[in-house]
Structure 1
């Protein structure tokens, strides 16, 4: 399910719960993103939520006169707003919401407030209890902080929540989650002192943080501690691994374990896409702005009148780089021309690098099971190549929109 969530973020370039549910449904029905080719070990809460989602799709399709077969495609913004994506009953507080969380804070970590809120929402669509929502928010905040370089001692500090309270907006943590944030998991006796890796989200969060707190800065030791608590062992370890992985990094994972991961090259590529496609900041959307005033733009440029109605056109080029074309009618200087030339040069390099990557570096992904259904094969294939194809689409969209905006060349952009 974490891979389903990651692919949704990459494909949509944003947080779209409806698309996430569609992919969870594909996993449940067709084995989409499953290492075995079929869904296995699905929790009752997740299964019930997906089945409720399917019922709502059928009802929605009938009400809006849409073919049910088309309901898995991207809906318009109007239809997305009309569809209720919270498919869980109230009081559902299983650990399934927490075990798939990591792609959300990874994608949005540059905007901590948004990362924390979306972490909670990612869980709410299948687990409707406030404890599940807040467990995801708190754990998402820890992962975000780790990605910002916060040291482990601060992450496990009893004051972490208070020190980062602005990330949580006006919604305080549920008291059960707040107790954990204040250090209830710090029990040297572990299992003998009541730490349990159960299916209840509060217990699961406490168990994962206990393993992280007591792992002696070793991913291997922490993962084994999480598993050896018993009960829901794989989920406890999966929750532990999200935070521990963000803190210790890929290079510190046990190599003997990494070698045995199924489709590890594919997972590595998806991880890279998450970083490259992640939202940059709250005022600058990931995809290009066209014909909008740039809220970050200072209109008081040399040779430009501050009263002019400037327009800023922003293009993605490379990680950490933006091509920004400022439309100031009737004015020009050498500086914007130089910026355009440099920006287009970076864009060309990005194109060349993408083509070289797909030609030389993209690793094949083998399907071990025979595909006895065309639909199954289609979903498998799309799951493998869609992140790459949709990133290529994003680049093409930027270029296409630039052409529609009559920016046909560097000189035209300068004019």
Structure 2
């Protein structure tokens, strides 16, 4: 996970730059500015989507397709798990899939009489009726591969399941055999690393046939099979046809080329991937997943780690993945699109707190050790340190369920108690709260914490009156005389509350005749305020329920 984020951050400032540009101005270190104007160490969509996927796996203790799409939507619409608090970089195929997901949510809510406040939180019986494959056919971009790492990290103890879930994860937004077979193959490589295989094993031209049972004897697409059999093994890279492009086969070749010729150095591999040009952040993020798993955290460049935004959060989330993945079993009932919250609650109680408690406990390792990475076991009664953010202890009395306590040392020393399930199961923001790039407010987004900045501006109570199309038209007119001319188009397109708050963006506004850039900004800002008000109301209600 950290390797993915570092590759993304190093490549971000030269995203879309050509090979010729990078020959003249090669990237030799982690920097800020450039394409997106990010600060040094901030990441783009590659890492944000991986964090969405990881948080879903942890929150649901397993694979939940519907919830993954919900979290991707939160990132797209609200900046959830973004390094700057908003979605500023998104692939075309991913965007179309998420817009299709919102449309399906809208139709599903109306069909089954579900309120728009509850549509993101479907029960298992509801979500199993929802078609989660929202992608168009024949979209062979790299957007599914760039976020993949959490899946093999979680399920590597069960290779067949890991590789199948890699396929499903890809199909949500990229339903093309080349795209999901690339994910199956790359996921299998990460699984092999975590199960102790060496670099020669990974780069063997017979890797697929050597692990064919993992793939359940399902053949790979011929284009992906060429990569497996060594099409990336070209020492001179770009001059021999290796490209850091958005097409999945190019991206897969480029990442494996960088891994093959990195001379045992994560830093060299990342820089080689970035300097191919074009989709620099994604090529390096894909490389970073594999190389990060292989070389391990301790061999990542410390000069980059100290600048990585959300470093402590990502590290803690990675440990959660290792912990929950170790407990997961394919023998337990599980819905691929449903919540897994209740699966163990009859036998175990999960408790999250920010303070350590003295108790007669046994220490529990929370990070799986392997030949490339050093495991970490926290001992009882040890004092918290700034770099230790997570500890698991287990205590059990006779004839009573085990009590699991997860202690969090929060990067910004925030107080309060982290509630179970609430950690990742809400639509809060993941935004900078301090001047330090390494500090993230807590293990979860800021939801369920009182946040003064979430106070809303005008209109103060419009969201409570926004229901049907007529309400939306009145709301548009209320923005001022300049906006009244847009109301007929909103009426013509049947824009109701759900559509306004969840679907309308700059492109949709243009379709409705809002060409004026200032008017677009004003309308989108007011929609954002309406969503903030709804979030505040929901958090107030949730806090009352939790208290």
Whether these two folds match at TM > 0.5 is: yes
Tell me: CA distance 1:349–1:224, structure 2 relative to 1, closer, same or farther (3 Å): farther
Contact 1:45–1:92 under 8 Å retained in 2:
yes
Contact 2:136–2:174 under 8 Å retained in 1:
yes
- Give distance in 1, aligned partners of 2:134 and 2:171: 8
Q: String of CA shifts for 1:21-53, please: whole Å, max 9, x gaps.
A: 000000000100000110011000001100000
CA drift at 1:76:
2.0
Tell me: CA distance 1:388–1:54, structure 2 relative to 1, closer, same or farther (3 Å): closer
Contact 2:313–2:443 under 8 Å retained in 1:
no
Of the three residues 74, 77, 94, the one matched with 2:124 is: 77
Of the three residues 153, 171, 174, the one matched with 2:200 is: 153
- Give distance in 2, aligned partners of 1:250 and 1:244: 10
- Give distance in 2, aligned partners of 1:383 and 1:21: 24
2:51 aligned residue: 3
Q: Secondary structure at the match of 1:144?
A: helix
> Please, what is the CA RMSD of the aligned residues?
3.0
Q: String of CA shifts for 1:219-269, please: whole Å, max 9, x gaps.
A: 011111100111100000000000000000000000001011001111111
CA drift at 1:362:
2.9
1:379 aligned residue: 429
Matched, 1:58 2:106: yes
Matched, 1:43 2:95: no
Of the three residues 253, 260, 269, the one matched with 2:307 is: 260
CA drift at 1:128:
1.0
- Give distance in 1, aligned partners of 2:90 and 2:238: 26
Tell me: CA distance 1:58–1:276, structure 2 relative to 1, closer, same or farther (3 Å): same
Contact 1:33–1:383 under 8 Å retained in 2:
no
Contact 2:410–2:441 under 8 Å retained in 1:
no
CA drift at 1:283:
3.0
Q: String of CA shifts for 1:67-92, please: whole Å, max 9, x gaps.
A: 1221111x222222210001110001
Q: Between Structure 1 and Structure 2, which shows a larger proportion of helix residues?
A: 1
Contact 1:110–1:280 under 8 Å retained in 2:
no
Matched, 1:237 2:284: yes
- Give distance in 2, aligned partners of 1:180 and 1:19: 32
Matched, 1:344 2:396: yes
Q: Secondary structure at the match of 1:114?
A: helix
- Give distance in 2, aligned partners of 1:222 and 1:104: 23
1:34 aligned residue: 82
Matched, 1:228 2:275: yes
- Give distance in 2, aligned partners of 1:347 and 1:104: 36
CA drift at 1:389:
11
- Give distance in 1, aligned partners of 2:427 and 2:69: 20
Tell me: CA distance 1:94–1:72, structure 2 relative to 1, closer, same or farther (3 Å): same
Task: Provide TM-score, normalisation by structure 2.
Answer: 0.56
- Give distance in 1, aligned partners of 2:193 and 2:402: 29
Contact 2:52–2:68 under 8 Å retained in 1:
yes
Q: Which runs of 5+ in 2 are unaligned?
A: 1-48, 334-339, 348-362, 367-393, 415-425, 432-439, 449-547
Contact 2:273–2:280 under 8 Å retained in 1:
yes
